[in-house]
């Protein structure tokens, strides 16, 4: 954390917005890495040292499990690294399936797949679109706690070698993304995914949520613990699983978020936990819970982190924690009702969202007239997007959110946001209406997590 200058330049989509500040904020950023960004060759070398090259040569069938468009960070470079090893191992295309871990997300267009994974990489693998609702494509691998059957994508279960590709990042209810999430919810069946996500909701917990479901928390988190259990069941069926996770951060010399580290190896759970610990050390900032900021100016970090609201929610959640470090997801509605409107914390959020809400059902969930109605509807007919949209509404209720975005006025109103035409106007309005308060600045809010000290 350090003092900011009088003017700011923040990422917005594929461009930058500038403005002058009438106040001096405290800047919240990740710790700069000691290393420059890792390119595909450096990542391939790390994977080779962990044994992936020899495993690729030996395996008769290989399933590379990769994120879909909702989590693009580092994907193309990591796959390019694996492509280098596939070439060195002389692995035939027929032996390799790239399985897109959609969970229950909608299938993406071929053009998007080419952009995310790279046409060169796609040319040397068979592309498999996972569908958790298609029983013919699933294999039962065992039972989870409570006797619930776990079914996973057949190409992943049947493969002699599984490579889990993704990025370790903070996740607002699973603790961290990456690792076991590639398997569950990534390539799991619909019923299992729904049950797992419903573990977030607890009528007896703070604001109806399970207390253990929070960013940067793995143990004591019922959602994450079931994800680990799912991967262990998969390993028990045979084959080997290799973790190939990128860790994004602030590279030496600046230039925006990039791959600065990898977590990899066949001892995938310890490797993942160690990678999560390194991310936590580099990408959290400790705040005094007794003195939260009264306002925050936050950029999601530009494309791809603000391509849609579905993706920008991560940055919004992190920005929210700058003004409520101890509150987290608990007691939001109650706090909002007790606080006068003009005393709520202010969030100035830059999230272009030129791809819209990011899910065809997002707008449907915003039609619920109250938070209570929305919550009951999620319990009665669970959808992941229903839970995500509820989380957005909760943060909007506690804060006054001034959004610089391509989303239209009507959508912003349903979210509980005030749409503002420019960064300059948002800052002027926040300063005029907000009075004297402590301000934070988050130039890349998707990449840094404020935590209560």
Predicted pLDDT at 203: 86
Asked if residue 296 and residue 220 are part of one domain, the reply reads no
Among 216, 251, 282, residue at a domain's last position: 282
For residue range 229-288, what is the model confidence (pLDDT) as tens digits? 999 999 999 999 999 999 998 777 666 678 999 999 999 999 999 999 999 999 999 998
Please check whether residue 150 lies inside any domain of the structure.
Answer: yes
pLDDT at 371 over 50: yes
3-state secondary structure of 452: strand
Query: Which among 385, 428, 423 is positioned nearest to 405, based on CA atoms?
Result: 423
Cα 263 to Cα 98, 179, 225, 415: the distances in Å are 20, 9, 19, 36
Asked if residue 129 and residue 48 are part of one domain, the reply reads yes
Please check whether residue 175 lies inside any domain of the structure.
Answer: yes
Q: Is 445 exposed, middle or buried (0-12, 13-18, 19+ CB in 10 A)?
A: buried
For the chain, give the mean pLDDT: 91
Q: Which residues contact 418 (CB under 8 A, 6 or more apart)?
A: 400, 401, 402, 403, 412
What's the pLDDT band for 106 if we cut at 50, 70, 90? confident
Among 282, 301, 324, residue at a domain's last position: 282
CATH number at residue 390: 3.90.226.30
Please check whether residue 361 lies inside any domain of the structure.
Answer: yes
pLDDT at 2 over 50: no
CATH number at residue 168: 3.40.50.11440
Asked if residue 131 and residue 212 are part of one domain, the reply reads yes
Asked if residue 275 and residue 293 are part of one domain, the reply reads no
What's the pLDDT band for 156 if we cut at 50, 70, 90? very high
R_g (Cα) of the chain, nearest Å: 22
For residue range 379-398, what is the model confidence (pLDDT) as tens digits? 898 888 898 999 999 999 99
pLDDT at 38 over 50: yes
For residue range 74-87, what is the model confidence (pLDDT) as tens digits? 899 999 999 999 99
Instruction: Indicate the pTM of the whole model.
Output: 0.87
Among 282, 297, 330, residue at a domain's last position: 282
pLDDT at 420 over 80: yes
Q: Which residues constitute the domain of residue 236? A: 40-282
For residue range 299-335, what is the model confidence (pLDDT) as tens digits? 999 988 899 998 899 999 999 999 987 554 444 444 4
Asked if residue 101 and residue 21 are part of one domain, the reply reads no
Asked if residue 54 and residue 199 are part of one domain, the reply reads yes
First to last CA, the chain: 14
Which segment, 88-97, 354-363, 369-378, is predicted with the most confidence on average?
88-97
Q: Where are the alpha helices (DSSP H) in 399-437?
A: 409-415, 423-434
3-state secondary structure of 280: helix
Q: Is 66 exposed, middle or buried (0-12, 13-18, 19+ CB in 10 A)?
A: buried
Asked if residue 294 and residue 224 are part of one domain, the reply reads no
Please check whether residue 301 lies inside any domain of the structure.
Answer: yes
Please check whether residue 145 lies inside any domain of the structure.
Answer: yes
Question: What's the structural domain count of the chain?
Answer: 2
Can you tell me which residue has the tokens 């449907």?
364
pLDDT at 205 over 90: no
pLDDT at 336 over 80: no
Q: What percentage of the chain carries pLDDT values higher than 90?
A: 74
Asked if residue 235 and residue 298 are part of one domain, the reply reads no
What's the pLDDT band for 45 if we cut at 50, 70, 90? very high
**Choice among 132-146, 193-207, 246-260, 306-320 with the minimum mean pLDDT:** 246-260
Pick the residue with more confidence: 390 or 6? 390
């Amino acid at each position: 954390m350090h003092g900011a200058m009088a003017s700011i330049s923040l990422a917005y989509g594929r461009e930058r917005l500038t403005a002058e500040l009438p106040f001096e904020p405290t800047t919240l950023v990740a710790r700069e890495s000691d290393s420059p960004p890792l390119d595909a060759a450096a990542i391939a070398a790390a994977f080779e040292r962990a044994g992936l090259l020899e495993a690729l040569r030996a395996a008769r069938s290989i399933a590379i499990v990769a994120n879909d468009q909702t989590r693009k960070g580092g994907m193309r470079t990591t796959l390019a690294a694996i492509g280098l090893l596939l070439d060195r191992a002389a692995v035939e295309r027929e032996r390799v399936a790239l399985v897109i871990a959609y969970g229950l997300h909608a299938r993406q267009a071929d053009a998007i797949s080419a952009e995310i994974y790279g046409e060169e990489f796609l040319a040397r693998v068979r592309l498999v679109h996972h569908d958790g609702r298609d029983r013919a494509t699933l294999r039962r691998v065992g039972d989870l706690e409570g006797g619930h059957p776990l079914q996973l994508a057949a190409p992943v279960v049947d493969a002699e070698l599984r490579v889990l590709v993704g990025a370790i990042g903070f996740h607002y209810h699973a603790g961290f993304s990456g690792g076991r999430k590639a398997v569950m919810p990534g390539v799991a069946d619909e019923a299992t995914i729904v049950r797992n996500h419903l573990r977030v909701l607890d009528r007896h917990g703070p604001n109806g949520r399970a207390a253990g479901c929070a960013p940067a928390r793995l143990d004591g988190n019922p959602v994450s613990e079931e994800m680990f259990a799912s991967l262990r069941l998969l390993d028990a069926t045979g084959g080997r699983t290799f973790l190939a996770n990128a860790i994004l951060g602030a590279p030496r010399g600046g230039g925006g978020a990039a791959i600065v580290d990898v977590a990899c190896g066949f001892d995938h759970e310890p490797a993942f936990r160690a990678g999560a610990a390194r991310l936590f050390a580099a990408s959290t900032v400790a705040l005094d819970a007794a003195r939260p900021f009264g306002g925050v100016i936050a950029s999601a970090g530009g494309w791809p982190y603000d391509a849609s609201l579905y993706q920008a929610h991560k940055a919004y959640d992190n920005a929210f924690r700058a003004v409520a470090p101890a509150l987290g997801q608990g007691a939001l509605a109650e706090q909002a009702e007790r606080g006068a409107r003009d005393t709520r914390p202010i969030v100035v959020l830059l999230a272009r969202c030129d791809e819209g809400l990011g899910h065809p059902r997002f707008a449907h969930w915003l039609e619920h007239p109250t938070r209570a109605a929305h919550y009951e509807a999620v319990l009665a007919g669970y959808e992941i997007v229903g839970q995500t949209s509820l989380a957005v509404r909760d943060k909007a209720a506690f804060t006054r959110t001034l959004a610089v975005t391509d989303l239209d006025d009507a959508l912003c109103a349903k979210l509980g946001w005030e749409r503002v035409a420019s960064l300059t106007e948002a800052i002027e309005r926040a300063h005029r209406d907000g009075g004297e308060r402590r301000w934070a600045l988050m130039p890349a809010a998707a990449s840094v997590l404020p935590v209560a000290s």
